[in-house]
Amino acid sequence: MPFAPEEIRIDLMCGRGADGHWHGTIGVNVDATALWRLGLHPGQPTSVVAGTSPPA
């Protein structure tokens, strides 16, 4: 994995829904400096379509 253990945090959020059933959601947080290392930063160019889409 490209991240060190201290650069990533995974949170589990559980609770009861309006119908009384339990549900869970996870949240994944990565340190911004780790993303910069991978070239993911606000200054990077956006992706553009380079050709036609494949048929369905």
Segment 24-37, tens digit of pLDDT: 999 999 998 898 88
Per-residue CA distances from 7 to 10, 13, 48, 54 (Å) = 10, 20, 30, 38
What does the mean pLDDT of the chain come to?
A: 86
Whole-model pTM: value is 0.58
Q: Rg of the chain over CA atoms, in angstroms?
A: 18
Say if CB 8 and CB 31 are below 8 A apart. Answer: yes
The counts of H helices and E strands in the chain are: 1, 2
pLDDT for position 1: 63
The whole-angstrom separation of Cα 32 and Cα 8 is 10
pLDDT for position 16: 94
Per-residue DSSP letter, 10: E
Average pLDDT over residues 27-56: 81
In the chain, pLDDT over 90 holds for what percent of residues?
48
